[in-house]
Amino acid sequence: MPAPKVLISDALSPAAVQIFKDRGIEVDFQPDLGKDKDKLAAIIGNYDGLAIRSATKVTPKILEAAKALKVIGRAGIGVDNVDIPAATAKGIIVMNTPFGNSITTAEHAVAMMFALAREIPAADASTQAGKWEKNRFMGVEITAKTLGIIGCGNIGSIVAERAIGLKMKVIAYDPFLSPERALDLGVEKVELEDLLARADFITLHTPLTEKTKNVLSAEALAKTKKGVRIINCARGGLVDEVALRAALDSGHVAGAAFDVFVEEPAKENPLFGHPNVVCTPHLGAATTEAQENVALQVAEQMSEYLLRGAISNAVNFPSITAEEAPKLKPFIALAENLGSFAGQLTETGIKSVHITYEGTVAGLKIKALTSAAVAGLLRPMLADINVVSAPSVAKERGIVIEETTREAQGEHDALITLTVVTEKQERSVVGTVFADGAPRIVAIKGIKVDAEFAPSMIYVTNEDKPGFIGRFAGLLGDAGVNIATFALGRDRQGGSAIALVEVDGAVPDSVLASVQTIPGVKQVKPLKF
């Protein structure tokens, strides 16, 4: 197998380059390429991995050209510059480094708070201009002031801890912050309205989502305390910049410190030029320590995925360790094949899928197995589906997916049972992985069989009556179709029977039609795996 190739299209620490090289991955470091979308689109097709920060915009157009891309690694936290649904639809894993720069970013927010409280940037400019304006700069103390944190996740929590150390009263608005965590942190959990009314400083630490966009709108700003100071080191768009400028101009807001902007790079901005505004060019994560952390981590994570199939910190797939990956592999194949078997037999709309994991397989990452089963199930209808995109596609189509795990109950150490409920019927298929690593079907609709999945198969259901096998074999023989293996099962003597037959090469439709005419045959279906 040729060495995987990775493109680094943003200014990552060179530490990442070394990691890739050490792991035997070919690496192309072009720190400014991300800013040139046409050039990126022209070469992205050559790479298995793309490592980025925030400057590279991974749009559907880039993804369209990314024919070999398997993984996008964000050396940082926010992945809003990557079109995740489009990447997911293409089966591309998107991973970030959720903690590597959080301390650094929290420190930047605290630095911005001090910069505002003591007007440090303006005082610095004035002093260095030889003005010595000792009376112009009258600051405010931070001790005993109330800090309102909007979004108390990783970074918000670190800001809270630091602020408590600075003797501030900390209140937080975050619908997902548990009361226990708030208590642990020593912050008071409040509603947004309460935060707006009480905070002397407000700092934002949420991602930019439909819900958080303009969380500080004109209306929200009007509800803030007069003299409030606002810090945004999270994402541009959380605050309505035009409304904030108006509130600064009117004197209602005493100051604002912004690291992030609606449009970046911010060459012009409504906030620019106001005397009480402090701006930095998206420097939240810009320390040597943080950049080294995120670069090393993203390079490790991407290498692990490309070389060993391990997945960590993916935003669109469950985590799989390097130890789990080889154990999971045959079961992924089994799950996908079971799904494929059911999918090829399904002709009406699927309502729900129930998967039972029994025995040793129940201890593996069943989320990944379920994704594989669903991908196999839907592939006959949606050729482009893959293990990464399957759960979201199923959700879009309103297919209910349920999983159960239980201890081994029969002769097999590990079993996967896939039950598909359609508008017309319920069909279940059971499989296992033998010691040789080959996945096998061991039951269909409650009838025991034993068959491997093969590239070309014929599935027949019939009444258990003498004569079927001879006629069936005769028809295939006459048509020059060679039978490789033949698996049979029945529920009882004279009851319902199943044949799962592996053949060499494709079976002409005319032969399948003749099989259908054998007395007692109910269903004949060619299958491909």
Ligand X SMILES: NC(=O)C1=CN([C@@H]2O[C@H](COP(=O)(O)OP(=O)(O)OC[C@H]3O[C@@H](n4cnc5c(N)ncnc54)[C@H](O)[C@@H]3O)[C@@H](O)[C@H]2O)C=CC1
For the bound state, the minimum distance from the C-beta of residue 80 to ligand HPV, rounded and expressed in Å, comes to 8
DSSP-assigned states of every residue in 129-175: TT---TTT------TTPEEEEE--SHHHHHHHHHHHHTT-EEEEE-T
Q: What is the 3-state secondary structure (H, E, C) of 217-241?
A: CHHHHHCCCCCEEEEECCCCCCECH
Nearest approach in angstroms of CB 11 to ligand X is 13
By a kind-dependent CB cut-off of 5 to 8 A, residue 415 interacts, out of ligand HPV, ligand X, none, with none
Q: Which is nearer to ligand X, 27 or 155 (CB)?
A: 155
Q: Tell whether omega for the bond before 265 is within 30 degrees of 0, i.e. cis.
A: yes
Going across the sheet that includes 201-204, the strands are: 188-189, 169-173, 146-150, 201-204, 228-232, 253-258, 277-279
Asked if 282 is an active-site residue, the reply is: yes
Stretch that binds ligand X, among 13-21, 100-108, 396-404, 452-460 (CB under 6 A): 100-108
Q: Which contacts of 421-428 are long-range, i.e. CB under 8 A and separated by 24 or more positions?
A: 421/350, 421/351, 421/352, 421/353, 421/354, 422/346, 422/347, 422/348, 422/349, 422/350, 422/351, 423/348, 423/349, 423/351, 424/348, 427/342, 427/345, 427/346
Which of 82, 285, 299, 333 forms a contact with ligand HPV (CB under 6 A)? 285
Choosing from 174, 200, 240, 241, the residue that interacts with ligand X (CB under 6 A) is 174
Select from ligand X, ligand HPV, none the partner in contact with residue 95, using the beta carbon and a kind-dependent cut-off of 5 to 8 Å: none
Q: Would you report the helix, strand and coil content of the chain in percent, each value rounded to 5? A: 35, 25, 40
Binding mask 28-67 for ligand X (x = CB under 6 A): ----------------------------------------
Question: Per-residue contact track with ligand HPV, 52 to 81, x per CB under 6 A?
Answer: -xx---------------------xxx---
Cβ contact 380:468 at 8 Å? no
Given the residues 23, 205, 235, 440, select the one marked as catalytic. Answer: 235
Q: Give strand pairing partners of 401.
A: 353
DSSP-derived pairing of the beta strands 49-52 and 71-74: parallel
- The interface with ligand HPV within residues 315-374 (CB under 6 A) comprises none
Q: Taking CB under 6 A as the rule, does residue 337 contact ligand X?
A: no
- CB closer to ligand HPV out of 76 and 489: 76
* C-beta neighbour count of 509 within 10 angstroms: 9
- Do the Cβ atoms of 417 and 370 come closer than 8 Å? no
> What's the CA gap between 275 and 265, in Å, rounded?
21
List binders of ligand X among 225-264 (CB under 6 A). Answer: 233-235, 259-260
Look at residues 356, 369, 358 and name the one whose alpha carbon lies nearest to residue 328: 369
Q: How far is the CB of 304 from ligand X (least distance, A)?
A: 22
How many residues bind ligand HPV (CB under 6 A)? The answer is 10
Q: Does 282 bind ligand X (CB under 6 A)?
A: yes
Stretch that binds ligand X, among 75-83, 246-254, 388-396, 454-462 (CB under 6 A): 75-83
What minimum distance in Å lies between the beta carbon of 53 and ligand HPV?
A: 3
Task: Give one DSSP letter per residue of 464-476, joined into a string.
Answer: --TTHHHHHHHHH
CA dist 261 and 286 (Å) reads 16
From 26, 161, 264, 403, the catalytic residue: 264
Question: Can you tell me the distance from the alpha carbon of 444 to that of 431, in angstroms, rounded to the nearest whole number?
Answer: 9
Neighbours of 249 (CB within 10 A): 11
Instruction: Enter the tokens of residue 288.
Output: 């040597």
Which one of ligand HPV, ligand X, none is in contact with 53 (Cβ closer than 5 to 8 A by kind)? ligand HPV
Read off the DSSP letter of residue 3: P
CB nearer to ligand HPV: give 192 or 286: 286
User: In whole angstroms, how close is the CB of 129 to ligand X at the nearest point?
Assistant: 29
Least distance (Å) from ligand HPV to the CB of residue 441? Answer: 46
Catalytic residue check, 235:
yes
Instruction: Identify whether the C-beta of residue 379 lies closer than 8 Å to the C-beta of residue 337.
Output: no
Provide the token pair at 85: 């649904």
Residue with tokens 């508008």: 423
Closest to ligand X by CB, 192 vs 447, is 192
Q: Annotated catalytic, 264? A: yes
Q: Pick out residues in 433-472 that bind ligand X (CB under 6 A).
A: none
Q: Does 285 help bind ligand X (rule: CB under 6 A)?
A: yes
List the catalytic residue out of 23, 162, 282, 412. 282
Residue 211 engages ligand X in binding (rule: CB under 6 A): yes
Stretch that binds ligand X, among 202-210, 313-321, 471-479, 511-519 (CB under 6 A): 202-210
DSSP string, 100-128: TTHHHHHHHHHHHHHHHHHTHHHHHHHHH
Residue closer to ligand HPV (CB basis): 284 or 339: 284
Please identify which residue in 62, 71, 142, 150 interacts with ligand X, judged by CB under 6 A: 150
**Which residues contact ligand HPV (rule: CB under 6 A)?**
53-54, 76-78, 101, 282, 284-286
**Which residues contact ligand X (rule: CB under 6 A)?**
76-78, 98, 101-102, 105, 150-156, 173-176, 205-207, 211-212, 233-235, 259-260, 282, 284-285
Catalytic annotation, residues: 235, 264, 282
